[in-house]
Amino acid sequence: MKVGFIGLGVMGEPMARHLRAAGHDLAVWARRPASAAALVAEGVPLYATPAELAARSEVVITIVTASADVDALAFGPDGLAAGFAPGAIHVDMSTIAPAMARSLAERHAARGIGFVDAPVSGGGQGARDATLAIMAGAEADVLERVRPLLAAMGKRIVHIGPPGAGQVAKACNQMIMVAAIQACAEAMRLADAHGVDLAAVRTALSGGSAGSRVLEVMGAKMVERDFAAGVEARLHHKDFALLMDEAARLGAPLPVAAQVWQQLNALMGAGWGRDDTSSLLRVLEAASPRGAG
């Protein structure tokens, strides 16, 4: 397929490479052309505007930061909508508000364009390994047309429901995952307060009912005090802003998520937004300095 790709960050670049390796005709647009330099050096065309990229593509995939970013890419000046031919498909793999995904789908549909919201879980490692979990919101026929593309980037593709449903599933994913990171941080903080070996505690917990991917990865980062970003904490903060706004709009009580949200606010206030979310441990240490070394 002729595929356009926008969003060549930590996750986007390896995802784009998997599409190319699978035999698809890849082209890109980049807000910062330097981010596309490696692909361009390998012969991947770089287009001047999103509209020009859309005009040569059957499908354009976007993975950027926020709802406003996707909206501007699709419907801003020289946006995708200006270039798409009827029958083309926009696949957005960003994490955005469900309401924005539904709005994008409606506006695209009015122009004869398909839309899939397909947020992912698995982080940079999952992107590099093509093992991402993909949560898709789309009409079934539209999803089937792009399934081969998604299969080149991910290991599990689940059709959640109509457009917007993928973003609801992603919000649920983020609630569970970041709450687990917070729980891991609290466990490490309690162990440290007792003066016991954190690595030994993590090893013991990993073999029991508390064992999890979060404990394996984030627990190791906490034990080693390696707060370099896997995924920057500011992105989880952004995701929680979306889901807490949805909770307020729907009147859905999310008491644990609300407490985690406040810890993420404290993390951001401490200036650690571009560090890893395992920095939630440092938020606890700042509140009770013993063992913060």
Active site residues: 170
Run of H or E including 120: strand 120-121
In 3D space, the residue among 137, 53, 144 whose CA is nearest the CA of residue 100 turns out to be 137
| C-alpha–C-alpha distance, residues 278 and 177, integer Å | 12
| C-alpha–C-alpha distance, residues 85 and 250, integer Å | 36
**C-alpha dist (Å) from residue 178 to 15, 120, 146, 221, 279:** 24, 15, 30, 15, 11
* Under 8 Å between Cβ of 43 and 66: no
- Cα 206 from chain centre: 26
What's the token pair of residue 109?
A: 């549909």
